[in-house]
Structure formats: structure tokens, C-alpha cells
Amino acid sequence: MAMLLSVMVAKADEGMWLPYSLNGQNLAEMQALGCKLTAEQIFDLNQPSLKDAIVQFGGGCTGEIISPQGLLLTNHHCGLSYVQKHSSVEHDYLTDGFWAKSWDEELPNPGLSVLFLDKVADMTSEVLNGVKDGMSEAERREIIEKNTHNIKEGYKTKPFHKVEIVPFYSGNQYILFEYVEYKDVRLVCCPPWGIGKFGADTDNWTWPRHKGDFNIFRVYVDKDNNPANYSKDNVPMKSKKYLPINLDGVKPGDYAMILGYPGSTDRYSTSYTVKNIIEEEGPAIIDCRTTKLDNYRKHMDADQEVFIKYASKQASVSNYWKYYIGQVKQLKRNHVYERRLAQEEEFKNWVNAFPQLKSQYGNIFDGIEQKWQILDEIEKSFTYHREAGWNGGEAIAFSRRFMRIDKMIEDKAEKEDIKAAAEKMQGSVDAFFKDYDMPLDQDVTAALLGLFYKNIPSNLMPSEILRIGQENNGDFTAYVAKAFEKSVFTDKARLEKWMQKPKSLKKDPIYALSMNIIESYQELYARYEEALNLGNEGERLYMKGLIEMQSDRNFYPDANFTMRLTYGTVEPYKAADAVNYNYYTTMDGVMAKYVPGNWEFDIPQDVRDLVAKKDYGRYANENGELVVNFITTNDITGGNSGSPVIDGEGNLIGLAFDGNWEAMSGDLNFENKVQRTICMDARYLLWCIEKVGKCDNIIKELVIK
């Protein structure tokens, strides 16, 4: 497996590199671009290094420590759900922003934690112990799962430490990661909606951008600087490593490095994967989420209280709605399917040219083709089960949490035990109904079930959706209205009454529908597993064979939410014929987009007053402009949201938050000419803190160069 750990560089911008295995080639190219740091200054398990300033944030984003007292910077959209939980019509932090002027004003966030990477170890031989050629995929998976479980069980960890074992290169390698988890993370700053969410859905995944996409939190610890559960007695963390902020700004050609936790790419997949996304999965997700968002918008625009409740939910749904629109379009535009076919033909010719390779690689596409024959048939229904079914309407999704209690009732468990289990659900019930609007959910549920019935073949549809649709001519409005009127899961008082004396949920219309969808999904999942058993070995061997065939190619592993380093430069780009984009945007562009009263493009009055006076202070560039966003050639994906953009000396120059429309196919194929990372300029961050939030306390805490 040494072959897989070696890093071979072809281009500076493509590649999500493992920062603990940088070799001379990487460093030489990084240094040629302007990096002044050593490998040990970037990643060291024994001494403080840049990796100690980088965290997994909230299970899905990246954050970085930016002060000696544990200040943590991430994206606005990463922290949005926590700001939303603190917001109300009376204290609308989403619209107006939130700025803590002292530690006492910082707000706790139950359930929010961050992870610092502590140890890394290659466990490939241990995980694959007992795996033999010729095994079925099911047998192989069983051994790997058993070995992984035993390794984790035998691994000694301290309190607040957690261990993960993660596959790389399609299961050809396994690496163990140990993290330290900090569970007391408090909200410090959130800009107003007209900064942090400026451009919203319209501008999402596009350049030029004009968005202050940031939130600031703080990590708290016990008196000995150790991780601890929330306590009023906890104190700000003494940072092991933090990022100073560089005020010089950026220009074309400047070195830019990003450390973070990219979530998922599939750059070595076959043409079958690409074809399926274009024809089945992508369109299904787009249709379901378009329907959901249309109904969200109708209710959110009519009621500010509903807007506050659903701001984070709407943002979560819309982000990957537009992502899939762009991905499908750019996969076609950039001819990714055709490029995959050409690569596979090259691979087959290579295998056929060397007789010794035929026994290992000669028949791998047989299983892959069988796998995708099944997935092409079921993928659309599979996606609808998830997007329009058990994750579609909120009440349907929420009802699944009561499956254990219903099973206890069915098994005739002791009444005291059943009631105790129900009482433990009170926290979940409170949280659900705090941000729930029944009329909105009713409209969403009826619309999604109608879409399900209309677009999915009857043999791949849950039997209850088929029955209701047939009985009501495809219109689910009346059925859903009646179900919502009767169900305990759409009214808090009804549910709490049930919790006092739990009884079988089988006749609850929402619960019954949810269970029927799950049963149908499980039947589809059995076919999905059959497909994996047919094709996964071939795809794993294809990955291995590609590495052998293209020994001069940069085979960094696909993103899998483990720490990665990517490096490149600040650069403009040509998006299309006669469309040439500059590398930065300014407050002039913000004001040009301003639309009074518009939820996407309104700007707070105090911000407009500052701009009118050109009150940019020391944060203006040499032309007197306040730079808002800039772009780099770095390679990132989802999960990198909130990642720091770092200069050649280890200083913060920006905050990564998005990719660009022309490269939306990038998760499957890096588009070297046009792929860009969109970043918030560090000077705009500081301007917002000082001038908009008037948080001199934060400015004094930062180290600004």
C-alpha cells in the first residue's frame, strides 16, 4: 500500500492531499508557489502545527481557531441552525445579527461540538486480515466490519476522545483517526441576514459573489483546559494553535492553502455512475426539492415567525437543490460521461496488452455493469423514498423516532418501562414543535406525496401511496388534511397526551404511512445491496488498476470527511466566450445588487450608511475599495465550508465558502481551467466585526498583521 500513500503531483490546484503524508514533490511545488512553511509546521502529531487550529465543526463543516482564547471561525451557513435556535420574533438574530460584547453574553449551543484531530494510523493490514481473493462482497464486508469493530473496541481512548476507521481508494486502504471532542461551543458573532446570507439562492454556487459568509463561536473548557460538557463554570480554551490574520489582501498569483474536511468526491468512478446521476438521481432530487422549496417559500414569505422557524431548514434544502441543478448541467457541458468512457476504453486496452493482467482485471466490468443495471432501474424510486417519502414531510420523518416505543407496546413490555421511554422523548418533542409549522408541513407533505405517485412506477412505490393516489385521482390534499387533523405527530398537545398513556401507533395515519414507506424502502435496499455485491469488487479493482496503469497521475484519495490540504493561487478565470471574471468583488458590487425589502438582496440601513461614507478604515485596499470576496484555484467540496484560506506564512487571508457554477461537475471530475474556490476576504470579516458589530473586544483579541 506504499504505492497509495505516495503523492504524485501533476498540477498545483487539483488534489485533496493527506497533510500527514506530504512528500518532497508536494513541498517543492507548494514552495514554488509561495509557501514558506515546512511539512512539520503544517502537520505534526507531536508539536503544535496548523492542523491544531483546524476543527470538524458540527458534524458537517470546517472551522478554525483564530485567537489565543479559543475563538472559532466558520461559515454563516454552517452555524445558521444554531443562530436560528436562539432567534425569535422579539430577538431576531437571523435578520439583525448577534454580537457578544463580553464572554458573559456568549450563547451556549446544546448538541454542538467540534473535533480536533489528535492521531493518525494506517490500519489496512489489520482491517483486511482474513480477507481473501474470491470472497463474495458480503463475506468481505462481514470480515471488515468485524475487524473494524474489534480494533475500535481494543483501542484505548481518554474521555472526550473518539476513533474512526475510514476506507480510502474504494476500500483498498483503511486509516484510523483519533479526535478530541469539545462539547461546550458558544455563539459569539453572527452578521445580519443582509451580510451573511446576501444573495441567498440566486447567487449560490456562482461567481461573482458578495457575501459575508461567517459566524464566530468560542470553545470552552474546564479549569484545566480539558474538554468538558457545558457548565457555567467553564472558561475559554487556551488555544494550542491559532491563525493570525493578514491585512495585506490578495492579488493574482498569491499562494493560497486550505486545510479542512471535504465531505465526498467520486473522481475515480466509472461512466455508469456519471450516467446515473445525469439521468436518474440528479433529476429526482431536483424535482423533489423544487416542490419542497416552493411550498416553504409560500409560507415563509407570508409570516416572519415561520421565516425564522424555517430559515435554516430552507437553506439546507436549497443548497443541494441548486447543487444538483448545476452538477447535472455541467456534467453534460463538460462531457464527463464521454471522458469516463474514453478512460475505461484505455483501461481495457491496457489490460488486453498484458496477458498477466487479464486474470485480475479482465472481467471486472461484468459485475460493474450488472450492478448499474439494477441501480438504473431503482435509483429514481430510491431517491423519492428518501426525498419525498420518509424525509419529505416533517411529521412523517418525526414519527420514526417513536418506532422503539411502538415496538415495546407490541411486545407487551412493562407499562412503567413504556411510559419511561415516552417521557425520555420530551426533549425531542419540545425541539421539534419549537420550529414546526403545521400548515406548511401539510402543504409540503401533500405536494411531495402527489409527486411520488405521479413520477414513480407502481411496482416501485409504497403500497399506501399507491392506494391513496388511486382512490383520490392522484390528489393527496384531502387525505393529508384529514391525517394531520387526527395524527398525534402534528399537534404537541395531542402527542403529550399520548405520552402520558402510550398505546399502539399502528392506527395513527402519519405513523402508518411512515412505516409503509420504510417497509418499501427496505425492499428496495435489498436490491441495492444485491447491486453492491455484484459490482463493488469490480469498482475496487478498477481503482487499483488505474493506479497501476497511470503511474504518473496524482492519485490523491477521494474526499471522505477526513482532513485534507489543498493548495493553489489567487486567479481570475474565463467562464465562457467573452465572459472573463476578475478575481475579487467589492462593496460597490454589493450595493449594485441591493433590492429594498427583498429577502435575498436587502442590506441593513447601518451597513448602507457606512458604505455611503466609505467608512472602511484600515480594511480598504490601495484603491480605497472594501474587498468582499475573492477566488482561488484550490480544490474543495462540501464539508470544506468554513475552511481557512491561508497564505504562505500560515496567516488567515480568507474563509472558503463555495464553488463556482462552471465547475459544478467538479466532485466527479476536476475542471482545471475553470474550477475556483469562492472565499470571503479576511478584511471584510474584520470590517464587519469592527464597523457593523462594533465588537472592539473581538478585534483586540485577534492577532492582526
For the four alpha carbons of 620, 621, 625 and 628, in that order, the dihedral sign comes to negative
163: its cell numbers: 476513533
Dihedral of the alpha carbons of 637, 640, 646, 648, in degrees to the nearest 10: -40
Residues 656/643, Cβ–Cβ less than 8 Å: yes
CA gap 127, 570 in Å, rounded: 41
| Residue 275 buriedness (CB in 10 A; 0-12 / 13-18 / 19+) | middle
C-alpha cell at 593: 445588487
Q: How far apart are the first and last CA of the chain?
A: 43
Crossing angle (nearest 10°) for helices 403-410 and 415-423: 170
**Known catalytic membership, residue 77:** yes
Number of neighbours of residue 24 by Cβ within 10 angstroms: 9
C-alpha cell, 77: 451557513
- Run of H or E residues at 655: strand 652-659
Class of residue 356 by CB neighbours under 10 A (exposed 0-12, middle 13-18, buried 19+): exposed
Whole-angstrom Cα distance, residue 254 to residue 262? Answer: 23
Residue type, 87: S
| Catalytic residue (one of 76, 77, 210, 299) | 77
- Contact residues for 608 (Cβ-Cβ < 8 A; gap 6+): 591, 594
Q: Is 67 part of the annotated catalytic residue set?
A: no
Catalytic residue among 641, 647, 658, 665: 641
Asked if 340 and 274 count as a contact pair (C-beta separation under 8 A), the reply is: yes
* Gyration radius from the chain CA atoms: 26
User: Grid coordinates standing for 159?
Assistant: 474521555
Known catalytic residue at 213: yes
What are the residues facing 584 on neighbouring strands? Answer: 630
DSSP state of 557: P
Residues 6+ apart with CB under 8 A from 311: 80, 84, 94, 300
Centroid of chain to Cα 278: 21
- Report the alpha-carbon distance of residue 14 to residue 565 in Å, rounded: 11
- Reported as type and span, the H/E element at residue 306 is helix 304-333
| Catalytic pick among 13, 184, 213, 635 | 213
208 SS3 class: coil
Distance CA 151, CA 127 (A): 8
Backbone angles phi, psi at 507, to 5 degrees: -95, -5
Instruction: Specify which residues 565 forms β-bridges with.
Output: 17, 259
Catalytic residues: 77, 213, 641
